[in-house]
Structure 1
């Protein structure tokens, strides 16, 4: 028998799906399909729940708890390290501020000491030169040149004197001019006192030796003569009367 002869027999054995005999009833097949779909959905939801249970079980596992605890410990260690570094930074900042203040004070103190040292060095040198200036001034007032040779010599050493005075002025040295001023013990030294009514008491009459200052520093006090009031003159009669009064007082006592 050939294959073409066998085919109708197969169709006849399944009349429900044979399209040649009439309409086919598909209600049964659709119901079966819906039931299959519902079953597959239930299976998928069950599998999803199972997966969630597996994931939950994995999250709460001891290994994950150990990892989480390790992270927490590491976080605490890092926080502690950060606090230590912050404290160290604040301490370093405070030390830097203190060192900067100390350095500024040191710089100011060094500058002040340097200035004082320069002034003291100038003072020492100029003080040693002041007697030379005094000698030139005495020579100018005491010597009276008469001949041409004497005048030439006088002009020569006066030129040296002028050069020396100019150098001292450039260094900041100035001479005192106390005549007619009130006596000041900070600048003057009283060598003589003269009784006079021409000047008020305590007035500088004459400068015996010139005083010098270097800025605000006194190089040498000016030696001066100071005016004092005259004492009252007692005549012989007033003196005799005073003696008689003293004798009477002694007799009564």
Structure 2
């Protein structure tokens, strides 16, 4: 970037009027002059010089002055100043700023361990024993910390595997519990349904006995019998919907899983007597049975 010199406007000093000896030494006076503003006119001496009177706000022009005894003023060549484009300067500044940012980013992302190794290499190259000992102790502490972390990772991995096994066992136990609960529920429903159906089977036997004993003689009795048979059919349909099916035992081999042995005729008589006594004095019979 170009350097700009800014100086206040100086008024040239008037030439001396006193007489001088010809042997007096000569000296030059340099004036820093800026472009004329505010309506000021330059002196006749400045206008007689061969320099162009071009106003400049950026650079300083060196103007020599001669004394009365001089016949010719020496010509002073203005130094050439290279003017840089502000945009170029801005680009250069931006490039340097971007380079600084990149270097800062590299330093930021540099690993402390790598920096430690670099310092250790430099210490080895310089044969600095004190620094080498310090860096070796630092590296040893880093190695010890690494070993501790590895041990901790191993222990955590073992704990994780144990917890995974425990979770798998708990999941399997819960699955078995769910299946067992569902099985028990279905078994409870089936047992309750079987108990209800078993309590309704004597009613079905009574319907069968009544069917064999009814004798239809009149039209009214026939209507009653038809109504009775309709109720019987509806009851059979309900039992069939509950899974009750009749088993044919006449003319087939005995199946202990499907039916129980009837026994002798004495057993039938005893059963009928037992039912009669049960209807007559149920309370006493219950006490006797419990005993």
The TM-score with structure 2 as length reference comes to 0.46
**Post-superposition shift, 1:128?**
1.0
2:200 match: 129
Q: 1 or 2, which has the higher helix percentage?
A: 1
**Post-superposition shift, 1:178?**
1.2
1:113 match: 184
**2:124 and 2:132 in contact (8 A); partners too:** no
Report the Cα distance in structure 2 between the residues aligned to 1:52 and 1:68, rounded to whole angstroms.
14
- The unaligned stretches of length 5 or more in structure 2 are 1-121, 266-291
**Post-superposition shift, 1:135?**
0.9
Report the Cα distance in structure 1 between the residues aligned to 2:165 and 2:233, rounded to whole angstroms.
59
1:100 match: 171
**Post-superposition shift, 1:152?**
1.0
1:146 match: 217
1:186 match: 257
**Post-superposition shift, 1:185?**
2.4
Report the Cα distance in structure 2 between the residues aligned to 1:187 and 1:85, rounded to whole angstroms.
62
- After superposition, residues 163-202 of structure 1 pair within 5 angstroms as 163-192=234-263
**Post-superposition shift, 1:62?**
2.2
Report the Cα distance in structure 2 between the residues aligned to 1:60 and 1:121, rounded to whole angstroms.
90
Report the Cα distance in structure 1 between the residues aligned to 2:126 and 2:216, rounded to whole angstroms.
128
SS at 2:251's partner residue? coil
Q: What is the Cα-based RMSD across aligned positions, in Å?
A: 2.1
2:156 match: 85
- The unaligned stretches of length 5 or more in structure 1 are 1-50, 195-253
Report the Cα distance in structure 1 between the residues aligned to 2:188 and 2:254, rounded to whole angstroms.
31
Report the Cα distance in structure 1 between the residues aligned to 2:123 and 2:150, rounded to whole angstroms.
35
Confirm or deny that 1:67 pairs with 2:138.
yes
SS at 1:61's partner residue? helix
**Post-superposition shift, 1:53?**
6.3
**Post-superposition shift, 1:190?**
2.4
SS at 2:168's partner residue? helix
**2:123 and 2:131 in contact (8 A); partners too:** no
1:41 match: none
The TM-score with structure 1 as length reference comes to 0.53
Report the Cα distance in structure 2 between the residues aligned to 1:111 and 1:173, rounded to whole angstroms.
23
* Aligned residue pairs, count: 144
**Could you report, residue by residue, the CA deviation over 1:40-90 in whole angstroms, capped at 9, with x for unpaired residues?**
xxxxxxxxxxx8766332686221122111101110111011001110110
1:55 match: 126
SS at 2:216's partner residue? coil
Report the Cα distance in structure 2 between the residues aligned to 1:191 and 1:182, rounded to whole angstroms.
14
Report the Cα distance in structure 2 between the residues aligned to 1:111 and 1:72, rounded to whole angstroms.
58
Q: 1 or 2, which has the higher strand percentage?
A: 1
